[in-house]
Structure 1
């Protein structure tokens, strides 16, 4: 399963599932500390976004934010009754809490399931993306589990563990920040964005029309 396909799976479960999907990368620790100087906030991320490579025109990624708390809420919404499977109506609403971390010239999004996810008995693992936002375009690129699972043993041991194709980061926040900053421009670690990684603005924050 490619990294691009896996991001589609993550967005598809923002409402319906908060369980860990197969073949992905997770971190047991956040990419930021409390009162971290690297935490930042960009109001340009707020809004309603549509995936560029998604033929379903009724699925939207809604991002709202709190500038004082320096955090975002991410939620996949479905505008009409369709067969696009944006989310399941049979489970509680699931939202992700996001924090924007700026390391050098690059920015990263740490997204973790919140709210109903805890009630469902799931693990609140952190998902880390390299993020780029320009005007009405947004790209979110996940870490490559394939690269991590084939990294030298010493590097894997320093960062975490590969289990059945999934890579789980157990490294500290400091080690994580150092790793993503060093490899931010390494296309093996953060592949070039494809259609499934890119979004365009579909409306204002809170606008579901």
Structure 2
């Protein structure tokens, strides 16, 4: 039996909202659109780059302008892969990943962030070698909360028992649809109260996660 841990990325292992916010404001202001606050940008994250841009436009009452949406998306993606310098690991993540490695638990990433920017930020933070499989928002035909990306991650890992770790409504639904135990990190980009989200365990400190994972896998 092969056990494994699969992580979401944005809002789970990393706080990338400052970089996403800066890139978004740069492309929006270039097109004459008023900039967003960091909290606005953070609230738009979760369903991938296209939905992020659509939410930006909706917040400015311009959601019907599909040509503008496509231009902004292209501009945003051109910046996205190098938008890594404001992104930080959440406290305790590095030590947690080291512990899981020592516990001989294979790890993977399943995120709605495009694969290129995902690889770039993991490399920038020096943790890319921790993960055996990386599935981005453009790796499979569907994105989370569809279960396909998570199921594809499991298949590529040849895992028979996994825990999925995430922070959001999207991750919760993905795990539920895939029938996979879900550990909810409560300090990420979640907007829904914890008790209203499907989860098998919740934590706010990454020092707790290795023991929690072992319990969910036992």
When normalised by structure 1's length, the TM-score is 0.27
Structure with a larger share of its residues in helix: 2
| Bigger strand fraction | 1
The higher-RCO structure (CA 8 Å, 6+ apart) is 1
How does the TM-score come out when normalised to structure 2?
A: 0.26
